[in-house]
Structures are given as structure tokens and as C-alpha cells.
Amino acid sequence: MFDVVIIGAGLAGSVLAERLAKSGKKILVIERRKHIAGNCYDELDLSGILIHKYGPHLFHTDDAKIWEYLSQFTEWTLYRHRVKAVVDGKPVPLPFNLNTLREVFPPSLADKLEAALLSNFEYGKRVPILELRKSTDADLKFLADYVYEKIFLHYTEKQWGLPPDKISEAVTARVPILIGRDDGYFSDRFQAVPKFGYTKLVENMLDHKNIKLLLNTDSREVMELSGEYVRLFRKRFKGRLIYTGQLDELFDKKFGELPYRSMDMKFETLDAEKFQAAPVVNYPNAYDFTRITEFKQIHPTHSTRTTILKEYPQAYVAGMNEPYYPLFTDEARAAYEKYSAELAAFKNVTAVGRLAEYRYYDMDDVIKRALEVAAALV
């Protein structure tokens, strides 16, 4: 009956469903949650504020093709993300930049450090903290150690349960030191949030006569891998299987569990028009949560109340919480590679997405990858 079965109705699964359905294929999407859109899922809360249930999601890309593709399914609210980090009790601009320098140091020291930065780096350059720490210049070394201690070390330990030098350098490089004065969190050309939310965007993607959606169903209830074959509803399935869940689960964890990092997402609605100085405020050095998001500052809403989200990192425990982040250590990657090699035996199965490929994909990365896979399959 179906040409393609897709496990997971997040962005990866939904983009593939949309592309392949348009090419005439019959698609079944199986999703274990009671809703579509994966971790991008958003909904109106009781105060009429659009909240992101699985953490703040800000769309950003430099790729005009991805922007155009998504624009078929949504109108946009242009939105430049801003983040502050609390340093010694004061919220200051993040990424750390030349404005931040002036907020945390007295003018004469800020002048000296700014001169050191500008004589060593081109204006506008983005320098990862772990690279800046390798500086031999005394002023730059002092600055790097300060920023490392005040912004990165304790936040990273909270977020990952590991110090920055124990995880891939690419993780902290996502938030580089900016040799410039732009307080925007991202530097991409296109930055926005879908006007009516991500759930609506994905709903529009899946709205096609060739797509059938089965919610509240874990693929393990209806599908198994046996020998080199996929069995679906107890029969051999000869079509294409696209899997966007955790790869260890697909193989009954035969090589052990892949480590992921989870988060306890705690929402609070307050009787106040506004709560904080920026849409997201990070707390590197105090509290058990990493950051607070105020959703009204992302999706402007007329309400006398405001809803905030505190994110408390925790270990992932299967069945107890959500696998939000693959762990970016060499050991975890090596464990993943065993599953990946096992998957290669299944000629009609493709793993796509943040969970299945065990990558730190942002939304635009996932869409790019899903579009590439779709192009190869039509």
C-alpha cells in the first residue's frame, strides 16, 4: 500500500514526507508522540502565548533555498534573536563582543582589551573560546580566561555534565567571541519565526492526499528489522523506510545505550507584563537551570501575563525524559558508529535527522539533509 514509511513526524520526517508525496509516492508517517513537528512543536498556552514545548526554537539560515522552501508553508515574523548572559549578577550581551567588554570591565581596561583584540583579529571575525584560550598575548589570555570562566565553563558543565574540553570543540564554537558590536545571537542572513508557529508550518507540509499519519504509535509496536529485512505490520516491507528516531532503539540497544542529554523543561506563567531583559537570559554561574526564555518576547502577544521557561539539564533515561542532545564525545560517536555500520546491511533503510544521525543539527541543517535525501529518492 505504501511506497515509503517514515518513522517520526519531526522536521526531518515531515520534509521527506512532503517531498516524496509530491513526487507521487504513497507515504505512511508513524509518530510516537500525540502530535507532529517533533521538538519544534509549539502551542498556545492558557494565556494565549505561543510557547515552544521542547525549548526555544529560533529559525536562522544563510541558505536562500531552505528559506524559499519553508516559505511555501508559512508566513514569517522577522525576528533577530538576542541573548544575555548573567555575569556577576548583570545581564550582558551574548555572544561576548566589544559591547560586552564595556559592560564587564572599567573603561581603561576595556580600551586595552579591545585594542588587543583588534590588533590580533580582523573586525567582524568570530573566534571560538577554545581558540582564544590558545593566545600567547598576555591581554588576550587574560580575556580568554575571564570569558571561559564567566560564560563557558560552568554553563557547559551544567548543560553536558562535562567541562568544555571534554566535548567536541564544535559545541562551544557555536557561540564564538565576536570581534564586533553586533548583539545578535546569530549572524545568518535569514532569521525569523513562523507567523503561526512551527506546528502549523509542519501541518501545512503534511497536508497532502498521499500522506497518512499515525500518531501515538511507537514504530517498535508495528515494525521490526529481521535478518536484512524490514517487517511492518508483521509482513515484509519492500518499500523505503526512513527512520528519524534513535538508532540504538532501532536495534534493540544490542551494542548498549547511546548517551543523550536531556532537560527538564519547567514553564511558569507570571502576573507581569514583562519578566526579563532579553528573550533568552543565560545563567552560566548560578542556579541549576541554564537559561530562561520569555516567549512573549519571541512572539509578541497582548496579555497582562507572561510565560517563561527554565531549562534544567539532566541525564537522559529511556522512557523517563526526552533525548534532546546527542552527547558530543569521541566515545559516544564511536558507539554510534557501531549502529551506523549495522544499518548499512539494510539496503532500503535510511537514517535521517538529529537523533538518527547523532548530530548537532539545527533546523536548517535538518531541512538541508532531508531535501538531499528526498532528491536522491524521487
Residues forming contacts to ligand FAD in the complex (CB under 6 A) are 7-13, 30-33, 38-40, 54-59, 218-220, 244-245, 249, 324, 353-355, 361-364, 366
Segment interacting with ligand UDP, rule: CB under 6 A, options 107-115, 171-179, 202-210, 368-376: 171-179
Helix axes 138-147, 107-120, angle to 10 degrees: 110
In the complex, what is the shortest distance from the CB of residue 129 to ligand UDP, in angstroms, rounded to a whole number?
8
Distance from C-alpha of 176 to C-alpha of 153, rounded to nearest angstrom: 14
Detail the DSSP E strand segments found in 220-363. Answer: 223-226, 229-232, 235-237, 240-243, 260-270, 280-282, 291-294, 306-315, 325-326, 349-351
Name which of 163 and 256 has its Cβ closer to ligand UDP: 163
Residue 307 binds which entry of ligand UDP, ligand FAD, none, CB below 5-8 Å type-dependent: none
C-alpha cell recorded at residue 263:
532537560
Name which of 18 and 357 has its Cβ closer to ligand UDP: 357
Name which of 17 and 335 has its Cβ closer to ligand FAD: 17
In the complex, what is the shortest distance from the CB of residue 315 to ligand FAD, in angstroms, rounded to a whole number?
15
Window 137 to 156, contacts with ligand UDP (CB under 6 A)? 151-152, 155-156
Window 248 to 267, contacts with ligand UDP (CB under 6 A)? none
Does residue 172 touch ligand UDP according to CB under 6 A?
Answer: yes
Radius of gyration of the chain (CA): 22
What is the b/e burial string over 260-288, where b = at least 16 CB atoms within 10 angstroms of the residue's CB? bbbbebeeeeeeeeebbebbbbbbbbeee
Of 34, 36, 9, nearest in space to 242 by CA: 9
Helix residue spans in the chain (DSSP H)? 11-22, 64-71, 98-104, 107-120, 129-132, 138-147, 154-160, 169-173, 198-206, 219-222, 247-250, 330-343, 363-377
Name which of 147 and 373 has its Cβ closer to ligand FAD: 373
3-class DSSP state for residue 158? helix
Upstream peptide bond of 106 is cis (omega within 30 degrees of 0): no
Distance from C-alpha of 18 to C-alpha of 267, rounded to nearest angstrom: 32
In the complex, what is the shortest distance from the CB of residue 9 to ligand FAD, in angstroms, rounded to a whole number?
6
Residue 128 binds which entry of ligand UDP, ligand FAD, none, CB below 5-8 Å type-dependent: none
Name which of 179 and 335 has its Cβ closer to ligand FAD: 335
Distance from C-alpha of 104 to C-alpha of 279, rounded to nearest angstrom: 21
Name which of 33 and 354 has its Cβ closer to ligand UDP: 354
Angle among Cα 153, 154, 156 to the nearest 5 degrees reads 70
Q: Which amino acid is at 255?
A: F
Close Cβ partners of 79 (under 8 Å, ≥ 6 residues apart): 58, 191, 192, 193, 298
Distance from C-alpha of 314 to C-alpha of 205, rounded to nearest angstrom: 33
Residue 94 binds which entry of ligand UDP, ligand FAD, none, CB below 5-8 Å type-dependent: ligand UDP
Residue 349 binds which entry of ligand UDP, ligand FAD, none, CB below 5-8 Å type-dependent: none
Residue 151 binds which entry of ligand FAD, ligand UDP, none, CB below 5-8 Å type-dependent: ligand UDP
With CB under 6 A as the contact rule, the residue among 14, 74, 135, 159 that binds ligand UDP is 159
Residue 175 binds which entry of ligand UDP, ligand FAD, none, CB below 5-8 Å type-dependent: ligand UDP
Which residue of this chain has its Cβ atom nearest to ligand UDP in the complex? 155
Write each residue from 64 to 103 as x if it is in contact with ligand UDP (CB under 6 A), else as -, in one continuous string.
Answer: ---------------------x--------x---------
Residues interacting with ligand UDP, by CB under 6 A? 85, 94, 151-152, 155-156, 159, 171-172, 174-175, 282, 284
